[in-house]
Amino acid sequence: MDLQAEKQLIGLVSKRLQWILLLMMFIAFMDRTNISFVASFMNKDIGLSARQFGWGASLFFVGYLLFEIPSNLIMARVGARLWLARIMISWGIVSCASAFIVGPNSFYLARFLLGVAEAGFIPGVVLYLSYWVPHRYLGKFTGWFLMIVPISASLTAMLTAVLLGLDEVLGVTGWRWVFFTEGLPAIVVGFFLLRYLADKPASATWLSTDQRTQLQAMVNADQVGKMTETPKLKPALTSPSVWCLGGAYFFMNVALGAQTWYPLSIHLFKLSRPWETASIAIPSAIASLSMLLWAKRSDRGEERSWYVIIPALVSALSWYGAAHWINDAFWLPALMSVAYSAMFAALVVFWTIPTRVLSVEARPAGLAIITALGLPGSMISLALGGQLRDQLGSFAPCYLMAASGMLACGLVVVWMHLSDQRKKVALPA
């Protein structure tokens, strides 16, 4: 196939998949992160301390962690269409039910069940893309569906601000309206996926027979190992790459989890609601544009490792600066804009690495293990961050943890890259 025909075919796949993946990711992170925007209202209403909130928020990751690997293995067997739909419908129901939280115990239960319901979603989407997109285009695709992660914070902040204005409508507090209203789209989109998605190119009725054959051949050419319908756990468990990537993702998640504390930090400045919303939204909006541009640049150079290492180190410096300037209403959002942009730039390129190094049979379990190893980073960031906030009266230690996490992430990827280079040098000519 010539280059122009190849690009036209990838363009068809892009038009079909990008918008729905973007919507799915937005809904996922809206329902995952809206807790941070309603925290100050909910905590006061039901009497949660910062420590209880931190522990409760971290339980999302406990549920996610426990069911992560089984979820991805089931998806590889039953197909993405059915399983991604199941994930969205179940987490939408749990999110809506969170409107009925009345105290610490019900808060803990709701966050745990949300993690259980959403388990496998992100690695499932990455796995799904690996069946459709050749690796040389994967950075762009990954950038498109992950760019909504920081944007979701901006959009969720604005939407949540509107819904909080419904306070006492029909006798219901605003934060309860947030949970119920923002949970409904997941249920609707989940049922839509059953009709819209195709599991693999071979079942895509929106492509011609020749296009299906050509696309499958392009994807197969990038695979490590033979295509198989039977995912295996052992090859993933014995892969050094899985454990190294899982370690890097763990440290990155320490910083990703610390995002929860930024809206609460801004709230302490007692700004007007429009200024508070803008201060929260702007860093995320800038990060979304940056990560997409960074992913495209990574594709053009066909380089992955350094495109993770460099932004990870920049993010670490910016998180450190944010901890130092945490009481400054101008410098805190400015530094967080850089910290977010670099952190998400590293994240988007990071997720192109596993599908390049893992065999097809190891990929479902490998992606799930990497995610499972990473999630405790967010759990620690939230649980320990809440405790430090209660004891020290500042969110600065939370930001210092994030800086340390991004620094460690960058160093792990440096070590992986150098090890890979040593292996290449050692290979016989």
Mean of the pLDDT values across residues 121-141? 81
Residue 279: name the closest of 261, 290, 258, 263 by CA. 263
Summarised one tens digit per residue, pLDDT across range 182-216 is: 999 999 999 999 989 998 888 888 988 888 988 88
* Packing angle of the helix pair 3-46, 174-196 (nearest 10 deg): 150
List 172's β-bridge partners, or say none. 169
pLDDT recorded at residue 423: 66
Separation CA 43–CA 280 (nearest Å) = 19
Domain of 380: which CATH number? 1.20.1250.20
Number of H helices and E strands in the chain, helices first, is 18, 0
- Mean confidence (pLDDT) of the chain: 84
Mean of the pLDDT values across residues 283-287? 85
Q: Which of 359 and 406 is assigned the larger pLDDT?
A: 406
Q: Which of 366 and 222 is assigned the larger pLDDT?
A: 366
Residue span of the structural domain in which 126 resides: 3-426
Does the pLDDT of residue 429 top 50, yes or no?
Answer: no
368 with 123: CB under 8 angstroms? yes
Does the pLDDT of residue 168 top 70, yes or no?
Answer: yes
Summarised one tens digit per residue, pLDDT across range 4-18 is: 888 888 889 888 988
pLDDT recorded at residue 417: 82
| Selection from 91-105, 139-153, 214-228, 412-426 with the highest mean pLDDT | 91-105
* Structural domains in the chain (count): 1
Mean of the pLDDT values across residues 93-108? 91
Mean of the pLDDT values across residues 377-403? 82
Summarised one tens digit per residue, pLDDT across range 311-327 is: 999 999 999 999 999 88
Residue type for position 327: N
pLDDT recorded at residue 230: 60
Mean of the pLDDT values across residues 346-374? 83
**Coil/strand/helix, residue 359:** strand
Radius of gyration of the chain (CA): 21
Does the pLDDT of residue 225 top 60, yes or no?
Answer: no
Separation CA 19–CA 15 (nearest Å) = 7
pLDDT recorded at residue 1: 61
Summarised one tens digit per residue, pLDDT across range 31-40 is: 887 887 788 7
Give the total residue count for the chain. Answer: 429
Does the pLDDT of residue 331 top 60, yes or no?
Answer: yes
Would residue 427 be called left, alpha or beta, if left means φ above 0 and alpha means ψ between -120 and 50 degrees?
A: beta
Residue type for position 33: T
Summarised one tens digit per residue, pLDDT across range 233-278 is: 777 788 888 899 999 999 999 998 888 788 878 878 877 777 877 8
Does the pLDDT of residue 221 top 80, yes or no?
Answer: no
375 with 61: CB under 8 angstroms? yes
pLDDT recorded at residue 66: 84
Does the pLDDT of residue 340 top 90, yes or no?
Answer: yes
Q: Say what percent of the chain tops pLDDT 70.
A: 94
The pLDDT confidence band at residue 224, using thresholds 50, 70 and 90, is low
Separation CA 285–CA 283 (nearest Å) = 6
The pLDDT confidence band at residue 355, using thresholds 50, 70 and 90, is confident
Separation CA 138–CA 133 (nearest Å) = 6
The pLDDT confidence band at residue 372, using thresholds 50, 70 and 90, is confident
pLDDT recorded at residue 50: 75
